[in-house]
Amino acid sequence: MKAMVLNRICSIRDNRTPLLFMEFPKPVPGRGEILIWVSACGVCHTELDEIEGRTPPPVLPVIPGHQVVGRVVARGPGAGRFTMNERVGVAWIYSSCGVCPFCRSGLENLCGQFRATGRDAHGGYAEYLAVPEDSAYRIPDVFSDLEAAPLLCAGAIGYRSLRLTGLEDGWNLGLVGFGASAHLVLKMVRHRFPNTRVFVFARMEKEQEFARELSAAWAGSLEDEPPEKLQAAIDTTPAWKPIVAALKNLAPGGRLVINAIRKEEADKGELLKLDYPKHLWLEKEIKSVANVARRDVQEFLGLAAEVPIKPEVQVYGLEEANTALFELKERKIRGAKVLKIG
């Protein structure tokens, strides 16, 4: 099968083609697994974290990609949840132990044996993917394959982030960074919290304009001060500096949720500028998001179909994955980037 393969850790700015387009052995589904013929796979900032070594794959080579949509074309022994040719999606969670306290309580995202699609196991930048059937999800008919792919990570992790803010209708919500996940959060808020005002902080003027198109109450730069304090904020940036800026803009008792698997090192010194009375005092909170649980993916797909919430997408061919990743690194973003494969 054809696949885009990561063979070594490197800087994507120094090496604009970190993934090699090549023939790779077609997977065979094991016990409890299904084989998916991949039609679409979203491109996520986490792939940059893998390529550049912030969350490196334990074994190389590896096929990245964890926002996967396709059809079931084979079933391993014991697999029976899905019918042949049924359309399914796969998210960041590839597997977990299933028996620890976290798994038993629906928090398998915190399992010590959590394995991620496209990092700890081969992912969806390929024509075929084998995955445990428990980590696959039926895709609602309202979405095309290209529309569904970003929902599986950008949407699901945005849903979990929004849930962790404890947002109540009428509160002010800040979105720090405005890429694939944040633009879906804004669409969710419009539906579930009609009296909530959303304030968007984005580096690029085009991102700010996009936020206003999607009915943000206000949009400015990462350093700007909003016209009102925020009861909650979600940070989706790869940098440290926006954390300090977001804390400054929180109201007393406000909560900042950091939706990032890793932060880049470039501006780490900015945290040294954290001023306790200015940024953290008055019972402000910081909470991180770790992976997604299966519940997040399932619930978000249902919500997205009900509204419906459809992402803005930019489409690339499989062999153009390096281009999509470099543009993501350079913050050339409007909505979500998706590879069209099958």
pLDDT in the model for residue 280: 86
Give the Å distances, CA to CA, from 281 to 15, 240, 284, 287: 43, 19, 6, 15
- Low-confidence residues of the chain: pLDDT under 50: none
- pTM, whole model, 2 decimals? 0.89
pLDDT in the model for residue 272: 67
Report, at the CATH architecture level, how domain 156-288 is classified: 3-Layer(aba) Sandwich (3.40)
Rounded Cα–Cα distance for residues 71 and 85 (Å): 5
Q: Report the run of H or E that residue 94 belongs to, with start and end.
A: strand 93-95
- The count of C-alpha atoms lying within 13 angstroms of the C-alpha of 204, restricted to the half-sphere facing its C-beta, is 12
Q: Are 55 and 112 in contact (CB under 8 A)?
A: no
pLDDT in the model for residue 165: 97
Is 17 exposed, middle or buried, given 0-12, 13-18 or 19+ CB atoms closer than 10 A?
Answer: middle
Q: Are 43 and 333 in contact (CB under 8 A)?
A: no
Locus of tokens 């300090």: 244
Q: Report domain extents, the chain.
A: 2-139+312-340, 156-288
pLDDT in the model for residue 335: 80
Q: Are 217 and 197 in contact (CB under 8 A)?
A: yes
Q: Which residues contact 331 (CB under 8 A, 6 or more apart)?
A: 203, 204, 207
pLDDT in the model for residue 267: 73
pLDDT in the model for residue 326: 96
Q: Which CATH class is domain 2-139+312-340?
A: alpha beta
Q: Which residues contact 228 (CB under 8 A, 6 or more apart)?
A: 172, 197, 199
Is 77 exposed, middle or buried, given 0-12, 13-18 or 19+ CB atoms closer than 10 A?
Answer: exposed
